[in-house]
Structure 1
Amino acid sequence: MHTSISFALLSLFSLATSQVHEPTELRLMHRVVHPDLPVTPWAELGIVTVPSFESISPTGSHASISLAESLRDDLAEFAEAVNPNMQGAMYHVAIELPELEGSVSSTKACLLPSSTDANIVIHFSAKGEPYAIDYAVSPVPRDGICPATSTGSYPAHTNTSVVLKSPRMAPLPELRIPPPLTPEGEPVVPIPEKSFVQKYWIYMVVVLGALLISGPADDSPSGDKGGK
């Protein structure tokens, strides 16, 4: 009886462990909005294949994305609903979560027609749950001003890179050694360091005494041999 229970628990643990380490799929959504126009409904942008959380690096791990088959049709509908060159038009990319809409990344819609690449960064919590997304396109003018273009369509970025980031570990605090205390509980005052004279005065006295005892050196006699 105990053997069967242990085997069942081990099977459940192995199943749960395998599910944690197996790759999962994360669905991304997108839409366009304008303050003066009706909000377009969310459409599927693509599905990101997420590896095991243990393999995601804080500095970033690359992942693959499969763009939705209906992407070009959805982008055409976006262009009919909101022209990207309209002042105030925004392009949204979000993570689809089970219970809430998820984090949304907003980009100026006017930057998309002249862009060629898209970059997506997905942030994960310490529990391995996605909670934030960053979406950017390139090239983008340095001043961020929308470039002048007559193109009124949203491009389907087939060259889209995805990077996954896990949380960074906070640096450990540096603990200082507490100062020594006297029996009364007061900090011990360090003894001031002696000066050069205080350290070597005895040697200076010995040298000075030796010089005084020896006295001045005797001058060699100079006989006046020429006067004899």
Structure 2
Amino acid sequence: MFCHHLLLLVTAAAFVAADESLRLYHRVYHPIVPELPFALRGTVNINDSLLVTFRPSESISEPLQQFADSLQPGAVDLHDAQYQVALERAGDTAEAHWDISSVKLCHLEKIKSESIILHTTAGPDPSPFAIDYFVSPIPLDGSCSKLKKRKLDSTALSSFVKQVQLLMVDTTVTVQRPSLPPLPELRAPPPITQSGEPVVPVPEKSFIQKYWLYIVAVLIALVMSGGPPEEEGKK
């Protein structure tokens, strides 16, 4: 069994109770193939020291092979098949109540790393309630590349399953608590009168209206001082 590289990002000091185990499940789903039950993908343990361990199931490739064996004679489009990862609800074993995240099955052909994000509730005792699952690398357009138009029967899909080695994938487990966006900056409401009407601002005075007294005083001073003295005539 290959070692998985694990990463835990915790945004708060508290998490689930000490040594609480979270079970993850997985399966392959196709809209025209009878729905298969989930199989154990692995367990996530987080202790009171916030140390995380992820233990994959020994039969991690079993759901892929079960899907291949379930195909009837004929063919299915691999582009429509999905690989689903589910988070078991605490105390609820009903698969219909689990939170599910999925990727296209064809993206597992060249998978090198996978990211599992567990979202928790707020409060002093948060508990996981949702899961996000991502794989890398994938095409920029999200298509199935050259496999997009390939039709696979059970034999061809069994060959594809053998190429998918989930135990060799680097796994990142991330725990995220909810966060609120910054509050918008609100302007103060305009003042209103007792009748509810907006207060009409007083029109701003012009320069003449503000300083006419000073202007008049200057003009009077100039008039009172008289004109410049007359020059004496030449003798």
* TM-score, scaled to structure 2: 0.67
Residues 46-125 of structure 1 aligned to structure 2 (within 5 Å): 46-50=42-46, 64-81=53-70, 86-97=78-89, 98-99=91-92, 100-101=94-95, 102-125=98-121
Between Structure 1 and Structure 2, whose CA radius of gyration is higher? 1
Residue pair 2:16, 2:46 contacting (<8 A) in 1 also:
no
Q: Which amino acid aligns with 2:141?
A: D
User: Does the CA contact (< 8 Å) of 1:111 and 1:147 recur in 2?
Assistant: no
Between the aligned partners of 1:19 and 1:119, the Cα distance in structure 2 is 20
- 1:135 pairs, out of 129, 133, 136, with 133
Query: 2:160 aligned with 1:152, yes or no?
Result: yes
- Provide the C-alpha distance between the structure 2 equivalents of 1:47 and 1:172, rounded to a whole number of angstroms: 38
Q: 1:84, 1:110 within 8 Å by CA — same for their partners in 2?
A: no
AA in 2 matched with 1:87: H
CA distance in 2, matches of 1:115, 1:19: 30
Q: Is the 8 A contact 1:33 1:39 kept in 2?
A: yes
Among 172, 191, 204, the alignment partner of 1:179 is 191
Q: Is 1:29 aligned with 2:25?
A: yes
Amino acid at match of 1:216: G
Paired residue for 1:12?
A: none
- Conserved 8 A contact 2:118-2:175: yes
Map of 1:197 onto structure 2: 208
Deviation at 1:76, TM superposition (A): 4.4
Q: How far did 1:74 drift?
A: 4.8
Higher relative contact order (CA 8 A, sep 6+): 2
Question: What is the match of residue 150 of structure 2?
Answer: none
SS at match of 1:208: helix
For residues 1-20 of structure 1, the aligned pairs below 5 Å read none
Partners in 2 of 1:121 and 1:147 — Cα distance?
26
Question: How far did 1:133 drift?
Answer: 1.3
Pick closer, same or farther for the CA change 1:84–1:115 going to 2, 3 Å.
farther
C-alpha spacing 1:205/1:30, structure 2 compared with 1 (3 Å): same
C-alpha contact 2:119 2:128 (8 A) present in aligned 1: yes
Structure 1: state its 5+ residue gaps: 1-17, 56-61
Q: Aligned pair in 2 of structure 1 residues 70, 84: CA closer, same or farther (>3 Å)? A: farther
Question: Comparing 112-121 with 64-73, which one deviates more in the overlay?
Answer: 64-73
Counterpart contact for 1:63–1:163, Cα < 8 Å: no
1:167-187, Cα deviation, whole Å (9 max, x unpaired): 2236668594673544x6765
Select which of 82, 100, 122 maps to 1:126.
Answer: 122
Is the partner of 2:102 in helix, strand or coil?
strand
Percent identity over the alignment?
38
Question: What is the total number of aligned residue pairs between the two structures?
Answer: 198
